[in-house]
């Protein structure tokens, strides 16, 4: 009976998994250098966790099921809400700022295509506690630095939902309509947004894109709007820090993001060559989400990489990922030394990666196998040499070999 994997899921064979592991390690290391510590949250949660504030877009695409106790659960579509729940249950006692990151699979019932899966991985970063512009800037810098640590070229756009929401407040657009406007802009449904907000000034603002010069234009557009101008002032503060940190960015005041919980700065990162699904990172400030779960008014800001797309981009941009190497292969030349070969392999495994022939191959075939798996050295174990306490060490790169004592090998590894 042939059973296929579910649509939108993937298997990762060892070579692919090795590449993913290396990219994940590099990015995690860059994130940890900013003081973030890894956490893990459940892969399934109560559905209401995401229904409360993640927005229509997320709610529509959730994998929802009822467990045997009749509870409505879902596979997590993202992890920011989970981290906020975790903060309410556990992390509130921690020293602030609370700096955490996670790496793992998320699930969205979307139409699969290149770069869009139903099971996909995110590496996400959440900074809980600070509200100042320097924290927004630092979070953006973490994202940029982690991608740079991989040697990736990318484009980063920053916007500010506080400006859009502030302007809607100034224009007396009702709070409950504001989310629909933001969602329509995110989906590119300008007609729908225009039905909800009648004032042209709002769309003049949404269309502002470019370098820092557009700030002057925004100031002009917003001069009579108090809440929006205040948010623009905050945005300028964030941009100054980004300039000081030498983070390259462009401004796009039309960034709306698909999730409802954002309140201030928002940003997105794209790369070339991935086709339609070229957004590899998205994030922003969400100052009301922690309060929803904990009752404590605690500001927060964060982002998540679409890890699968990052790995794709690494390949697409021709960035070399070193192949997995085995340090040693131990090759018994005959059955009488097989036990000894097993013992030798075992002896070196404390310090390095070692394989021993388990297929009963002839020496020539073991050497072929060793070069195929990129082994650095092969230890050839023969009865005559063993009697003298020696083995043959073959350098798999140069093909040279010499007799050598096992203690001496120990000094090499």
Chain residue at closest Cβ approach to ligand HAM: 306
**Whole-Å CA distances, 152 to 275, 303, 312:** 16, 18, 11
Cα–Cα nearest to 51, from 41, 61, 42, 66: 61
- Spell 293-307 as b/e; 16+ CB within 10 A means b: bbeeebbbbbbbbbb
Piece of 244-252, 277-285, 326-334, 370-378 that binds ligand HAM (CB under 6 A): 277-285
Piece of 25-33, 109-117, 152-160, 330-338 that binds ligand HAM (CB under 6 A): 109-117
**3-class SS of residue 374:** coil
Cα 352 from Cα 365, distance rounded (Å) = 23
Give the nearer residue to ligand HAM in terms of CB position, either 92 or 116.
Answer: 116
Give the nearer residue to ligand HAM in terms of CB position, either 44 or 383.
Answer: 44
The verdict on 308 binding ligand HAM (CB under 6 A) reads: yes
Piece of 116-124, 203-211, 216-224, 338-346 that binds ligand HAM (CB under 6 A): 116-124
The verdict on 138 binding ligand HAM (CB under 6 A) reads: no
Show contacts with ligand HAM in window 278-297 (CB under 6 A): 279-284
The verdict on 45 binding ligand HAM (CB under 6 A) reads: no
Q: 198: alpha, beta or left, given left = phi > 0 and alpha = psi -120 to 50?
A: alpha
The verdict on 124 binding ligand HAM (CB under 6 A) reads: yes
**3-class SS of residue 247:** coil
The verdict on 129 binding ligand HAM (CB under 6 A) reads: no
**Whole-Å CA distances, 190 to 44, 183, 195, 197:** 35, 10, 9, 10
Cα 356 from Cα 337, distance rounded (Å) = 12
Give the nearer residue to ligand HAM in terms of CB position, either 48 or 408.
Answer: 48
Among residues 122, 146, 169, 252, the one that binds ligand HAM under rule CB under 6 A: 122
Cα 245 from Cα 250, distance rounded (Å) = 15
Piece of 9-17, 303-311, 331-339, 360-368 that binds ligand HAM (CB under 6 A): 303-311
Among residues 26, 92, 116, 192, the one that binds ligand HAM under rule CB under 6 A: 116
Contacts for 397 with CB less than 8 Å, ≥ 6 apart: 376
Contact positions vs ligand HAM (CB under 6 A) = 78, 80, 108, 110, 116-117, 120, 122, 124, 126, 258-259, 279-284, 302-304, 306, 308-309
């Amino acid at each position: 009976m042939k059973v296929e994997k579910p649509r939108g899921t993937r298997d990762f064979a060892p070579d692919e998994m090795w590449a993913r592991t290396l990219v994940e390690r590099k990015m995690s290391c860059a994130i940890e250098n900013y003081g973030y510590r890894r956490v893990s949250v459940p892969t399934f949660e109560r559905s209401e966790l995401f229904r409360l504030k993640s927005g229509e877009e997320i709610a529509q695409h959730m994998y929802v099921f009822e467990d045997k106790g009749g509870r409505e659960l879902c596979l997590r579509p993202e992890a920011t809400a989970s981290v906020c729940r975790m903060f309410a249950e556990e992390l509130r006692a921690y020293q602030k700022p609370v700096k955490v990151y996670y790496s793992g699979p998320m699930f969205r019932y979307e139409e699969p295509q290149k770069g869009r899966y139903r099971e996909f991985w995110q590496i996400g970063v959440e900074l809980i506690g600070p509200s100042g512009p320097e924290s927004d800037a630092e979070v953006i810098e973490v994202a940029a630095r982690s991608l740079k640590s991989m040697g990736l070229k990318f484009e980063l756009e920053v916007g500010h939902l506080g400006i859009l929401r502030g302007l809607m407040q100034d224009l007396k657009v009702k709070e409950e309509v504001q989310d629909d406007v933001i969602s329509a802009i995110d989906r590119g449904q300008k007609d729908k947004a225009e039905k909800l907000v009648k004032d042209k000034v709002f769309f003049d603002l949404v269309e502002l894109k470019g370098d820092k010069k557009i700030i002057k234009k925004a100031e002009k557009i917003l001069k009579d709007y108090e809440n929006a101008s205040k948010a623009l002032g905050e945005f300028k503060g964030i941009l100054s820090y980004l300039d000081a940190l030498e983070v390259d960015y462009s401004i796009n005041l039309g960034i709306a993001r698909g999730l409802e919980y954002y309140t201030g700065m928002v940003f997105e990162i794209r790369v070339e060559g991935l086709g339609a699904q070229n957004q590899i990172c998205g994030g922003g400030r969400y100052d009301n989400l922690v309060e929803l779960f904990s009752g404590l008014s605690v500001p927060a800001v964060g982002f998540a990489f679409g890890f699968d797309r990052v790995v794709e981009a690494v390949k697409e941009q021709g960035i070399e990922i070193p192949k997995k190497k085995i340090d040693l292969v131990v090759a018994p030349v005959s059955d009488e030394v097989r036990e000894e070969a097993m013992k030798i392999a075992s002896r070196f495994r404390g310090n390095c990666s070692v394989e021993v022939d388990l297929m009963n191959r002839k020496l020539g075939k073991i050497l072929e196998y060793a070069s195929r798996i990129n082994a650095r050295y092969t230890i050839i174990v023969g009865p005559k040499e063993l009697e003298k306490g020696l083995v043959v060490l073959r350098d798999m790169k140069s093909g040279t070999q010499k007799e050598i004592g096992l203690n001496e090998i120990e000094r090499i590894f």
